[in-house]
Structure 1
């Protein structure tokens, strides 16, 4: 076995405290049982619970997917015109259109649901940042293979953008995001919206994204049998998703974004990953590819972090650092707008040694550039 980066002390303790079953890799032989176990134990909050006594407006929506073209993903899969389930949430009592975070859950393309991630999103981003969130219940593998999941995600995004008034969101301020498998799907969505001329996100929030089906990076081998999600689990999940196309040298980038040969024209990206996880090298490589294509990417490699560290060690110092950093990026991206003209005079002040300095200065500068009045 290759030498591996040391785990952060707090994270190492959290990892060692997990029971043996939780650390057992996914295999084709145990996949069905592991999926059934996940459905049985994963917490799925109700709409009433998510509303938190009237703090949030939460709605489960059953919608018809737009009849969007599926050229390029490998052929039509029946998403267009079929029923999708979305969950929409926003702060209660807000009447103006809000920016939208279109967030996709993780679970290796084989597990998870649209509801389980919402309590954290509501607590960390929806209320503090004043945004709305929509999550889609995309189909899971191997019951539905590629391109089912990414087409579900695209159809949900197209519906949300096309029904912005219904949702109370600003279609010009949409961020796509997700964690693990959800991060990979968000990256695929950015590629799809570019190539199809679909809803254009202003940012992509990629948290330890699952990007590369080839399972051949140095970190895949280095972290084999060590990371919570290792190359055995990774191969099992990709095989479940791709079926006979697993290992196909001509696999589209919409299935595995690390396959993309053209990363130009994509929205600004936030990419983070642990130094001690399987996805490290593919995430670093993806950010590097965005830079090489002339794009914008902010990359964070959390020292000593394994895959999903913030879920399994929520009180660790590194988890708090990661969450604060993600929030700052979201705040900066959402502060950007294509049109600052016609706004009333503004007074903006900020300390020279505080976190929000640069975004406040940038906002005032944007007002001046748009012919507006601002005192800074």
Structure 2
């Protein structure tokens, strides 16, 4: 240490982290460290790890880096425990991302245009374009210090891979683990196909749409104890589904106001009744009832399409755990098949499908 130096610590150059990273990666590559970690371990003590494949026609982003580190921790742990871990990388070649990118490159869009272009030609182009960024992926994953086998990678478009999926499905079928049911899914009118939840999160995958929220009055079937004709006010943000209405949902623990106007008694959430002063001008508060007291009551359907369908067991008031009074009337129109909550509630209540 120099006499005029004011610090007791020796002078140290600032570390060049990228250079350190490259030296380590170069040494691993030269020594074949990853391959030795496989070859030096017994084949009869194997831990199988197949990397959940990314879309091969998109560039890696920070989300891939985060999950990539997680995927590296598990195989490294088992490698350190002395097990043999082949880490085959994979590529997801199916789904809308591959098709959408090919449509952009070809200048075609939609089923009709693709059909005119030629299905076989379009599929061939997808197969070529889907692996466009594999080199970028390999560089990025390697820079992460992940140990991955790219030479023996798998692709979901490989015949043997697709056959393996069919084989696995057959095993589930043979064990009685496959069942048929209904599920609400987003649908693309352009692609004419259902979409996965992941696909609707893709950039520019959806378009904003604004529909009016409306309040609809349903006539309750008269029952003993009613003060007079009763109408229950339901709120919906999807008025285009009203022809398929099969039920109404209330919150069992929510209080509902019964408002009398010109001899008719209207039911809506007590907490939101103030928001309907204009529509119920001149009405008087008759009573307060619990949502649980409304459950099981029946009503007259708005439209006659399914009124005679006794097999549907429909047009009933059901309890819904998702109903609240943050907006609307505290009473929700239910059309199974048009929403996840509607479908779940309809199935739980044994409603038929229309």
The TM-score range, normalised by the shorter chain, is: under 0.3
Structure with greater Cα Rg: 2
TM-score, normalised relative to structure 1: 0.20
TM-score, normalised relative to structure 2: 0.21
Higher RCO, 1 vs 2 (CA within 8 Å, ≥6 residues apart): 1
